[in-house]
Amino acid sequence: YRAWETKKIPTTCPHCGTGCQMNLIVKGNKLVGVEPINGAANKNLLCVKGKFASYKFVGSGDRLTEPLIKRNGVFEPATWDEALTLVADKFTQIKADHGADALAGFSCSRSINEDNYVFQKMVRAAFGTNNVDNCARVCHSASVHGLAHTLGSGAMTNPIADITTDVDVILLVGSNPEEAHPVIGAQIRQAMQRGTKVIVVDPRKIDLVKNSELHLQIQAGTNVAFANGMMHVILKEGLADRKFIEEKTEGFEALEQLVAEYTPEKVADICHIDPNDLIKAARMYAKAEKAPIIYCLGVTEHSTGTEGVMSMSNMAMLVGKIGKPGCGVNPLRGQNNVQGACDMGCMPYDFPGYQKVANPEVIEKFEKAWNVKLNRNVGMTSTQVLPAATDGNIKGLYIFGEDPIVTDPDTNHVRHALENLDFLVVQELFMTETAAYADVVLPGISYAEKDGTFTNTERRVQRVRKAVEPKGSARQDFEIFCDVMTRLGYPCHYDSAKEIMEEIAQVTPTFGGITYDRLEETGGLQWPCRTLEDPGTPIMHVGNFTRGKGLFMAIPYKKAQELPDESYPYLMSTGRMLYHYNTRAMTGRTEGINQIADRSYIEINTVDANRLGIQEGDKVKVSSRRGTIETYAAVGNRVFPQEVFMTFHFPDGNVNELTNAAFDDIAIIPEYKVCAVDIVPV
């Protein structure tokens, strides 16, 4: 393109939770490129997804451009009035026949805060239920629960720049940032070049291992034992911060008693590591002045996910490394606005700003603000809604921008759930695998076609700006929700996303000082930001913890729900690859990306591959108790013998046909990271 024929619209990357700032380059009504700008989190960097896969999907010929109604099993174009009237009629009927709690909604962690706020308002105020959730359920709900319980706030404690600049040691647990959050990965690598020592705790030899100080290649599912072992060594060697513990925490005695059992030898046996490495890691972490814990889904996506997260809090509190620069407990959130979808109350037990559904004062406050009588029952999580649909207790489901057929564990079980619904609405950009099951499909619009805000992993609210007009009759998402609400007898209208943010600030104390004018002035504000004078909160829990005192939790190690046996002898874990983002709905529509990464693969150790007669690139069949898929072998030593790893992006060779729908009791998060499989050559 010729530069003088284009304009540049500053916005936020629509892929991972890093929240990189960039210009969309626009020619006419078409996006023709992307360039980085100097955001707080990205410092002029963009990764391959941000640079190349953030604009082509917007103008893709696959975009949905008109509402569709399924008649006799076939989708037919419909007017907006026909489609929305049908949605309202069906949901009204279900509510009349089965009660409001037979309805549910899944919101979109990729869409803007303002859409998410209006979505949960629609479900609570117009559907009349708290059955609303978002994809954090299957990625970081364990962080929201675990950190809120121990520290008082379920979010990253320190900013990205703070934990990747001038820190002494990074304890990186269950996180592969060079592929999942590449700009953060690049900043960690730059820190390593400046002398930061990195301890990688991961079942795979991720690329950062090469330059790290230490790699603890623990078996997937043993995070709690690892953390207890670290704390055992720290206490035994007198490296705990006793003053911090005494002044700022509670629950220490029970923790001290429990971790006394977790000797390095015992932990080494559980985790399959060298006990001397555990001792070395504990000393390095405890003795460093600045040492953040950075973690990701390797900690959360377990049947003990919340306990794993609480174990991260335990370690940080034990050495007093919280509420200080260059320290803290830092979950890297996956989707661009999964932090925001949670903040906006797209969760069954929390209104916006984590105000509790179970608290009658909160209910009364929202009843007054929204002028409606609200349901007082805590709702179901998305992972409870799907089994409830199978059982016939959920009858109507509204899915906004999520694709559970591809993303949720045990795909067969998800198919049955969706087939068993009386009515399914899907609001989407593309005809996804889940949309194919819908009764009505509504075309929404992408981040490049709307104004709004995303909140990145470090709690920074940043602007998203409209660059192009949507195609066809696709509509602004919050306007669609307002029209549905109005048809359901709860009239609702907003002129703009800015007006919605004004309402969010009024009802959400932690967003009280966030306005579009201030976001323009500052480039972004980190919540809590309570008043117009409040500069925001880069580091949380300074002075006191948000909950008052930090709470230690004594957590015994429990095994994963399904471990290898004679029939399924390999322990499988799953994760993201650099080039693709989740279901590939966006990255899969970028030609260059597909040329580099067009198929799924399974990492298998050379020892196993030789025994099975499998060579690099061979097609293999992978089976679990739930299904069988075909994929391609990537042979090497990134995983231990008897362990394998698969990417989760590809509907062909969908790893979730195999994963186990075993759930954490607290966050109801699935155990994507451990299941038992068998492999045979094809």
CA–CA gap between residue 441 and residue 424 (Å, rounded): 9
Q: Is the dihedral of CA 366, 372, 376, 379 positive or negative?
A: negative
Shortest gap between Cβ of 187 and ligand SF4 (angstroms)?
Answer: 10
Instruction: Tell me how far apart the terminal alpha carbons of the chain are, to the nearest angstrom.
Output: 46
- The answer to whether residue 576 forms part of the interface with ligand SF4 (CB under 6 A) is no
Q: Smaller CB distance to ligand SF4: residue 50 or 512? A: 50
Rg of the chain, C-alpha, whole Å: 24
Q: Smaller CB distance to ligand SF4: residue 46 or 112? A: 46
Q: Smaller CB distance to ligand SF4: residue 306 or 336? A: 336
Shortest gap between Cβ of 68 and ligand SF4 (angstroms)?
Answer: 30
Q: Smaller CB distance to ligand SF4: residue 337 or 605? A: 337
Shortest gap between Cβ of 18 and ligand SF4 (angstroms)?
Answer: 4
Q: Where are the alpha helices (DSSP H) in 151-222?
A: 160-164, 177-180, 182-193
Shortest gap between Cβ of 575 and ligand SF4 (angstroms)?
Answer: 15
Residue in the block written with tokens 């087939």: 419
Options 20, 172, 319, 604; binder of ligand SF4; rule CB under 6 A:
20
Shortest gap between Cβ of 403 and ligand SF4 (angstroms)?
Answer: 18
Q: Smaller CB distance to ligand SF4: residue 41 or 198? A: 41
Options 50, 396, 513, 550; binder of ligand SF4; rule CB under 6 A:
50
Options 25, 46, 83, 163; binder of ligand SF4; rule CB under 6 A:
46
Shortest gap between Cβ of 337 and ligand SF4 (angstroms)?
Answer: 11
Tokens found for residue 310: 């609480």
CA–CA gap between residue 406 and residue 649 (Å, rounded): 8
Question: Which phi and psi (to 5°) does residue 56 adopt?
Answer: -65, -35
Shortest gap between Cβ of 83 and ligand SF4 (angstroms)?
Answer: 33
- The answer to whether residue 112 forms part of the interface with ligand SF4 (CB under 6 A) is no
CA–CA gap between residue 215 and residue 209 (Å, rounded): 6
Q: Determine contact, residues 617/631, Cβ cutoff 8 Å.
A: no
Q: Determine contact, residues 317/327, Cβ cutoff 8 Å.
A: no
Q: Smaller CB distance to ligand SF4: residue 50 or 513? A: 50
Options 24, 26, 33, 42; binder of ligand SF4; rule CB under 6 A:
42
Tokens found for residue 111: 């869409």
Compute CA 65 distance to the chain's CA centroid, rounded to the nearest angstrom. 28
Q: Smaller CB distance to ligand SF4: residue 22 or 385? A: 22
Shortest gap between Cβ of 48 and ligand SF4 (angstroms)?
Answer: 7
Q: Smaller CB distance to ligand SF4: residue 46 or 318? A: 46
Tokens found for residue 370: 């929204």
* Count of positions on this chain that bind ligand SF4 (CB under 6 A): 14
- The answer to whether residue 16 forms part of the interface with ligand SF4 (CB under 6 A) is yes
Q: Which of 314, 220, 303, 225 is nearest to 265 (CA)?
A: 225
Q: Determine contact, residues 64/470, Cβ cutoff 8 Å.
A: no
Q: Judged by CB under 6 A, which stretch of 42-50, 227-235, 238-246, 349-357 contacts ligand SF4?
A: 42-50
- The answer to whether residue 18 forms part of the interface with ligand SF4 (CB under 6 A) is yes
- The answer to whether residue 15 forms part of the interface with ligand SF4 (CB under 6 A) is yes
Shortest gap between Cβ of 597 and ligand SF4 (angstroms)?
Answer: 14
Subset of 171-210 contacting ligand SF4 (CB under 6 A): 181-183
Subset of 401-460 contacting ligand SF4 (CB under 6 A): none
Please enumerate in sequence order all residues whose Cβ is within 8 A of that of 207, keeping only pairs 6 or more positions apart, or say none.
178
Residue at shortest CB range from ligand SF4: 50
Most distant pair of Cα atoms in the chain: their distance? 71
| SS3 of the chain: helix, strand, coil, percent, to 5 | 35, 20, 45
Compute CA 313 distance to the chain's CA centroid, rounded to the nearest angstrom. 19
Q: Judged by CB under 6 A, which stretch of 41-49, 317-325, 436-444, 600-608 contacts ligand SF4?
A: 41-49
Q: Which of 382, 351, 350 is nearest to 138 (CA)?
A: 382
Q: Determine contact, residues 138/407, Cβ cutoff 8 Å.
A: yes
Residues near ligand SF4, by CB under 6 A: 13, 15-16, 18-20, 42, 46-47, 49-50, 181-183
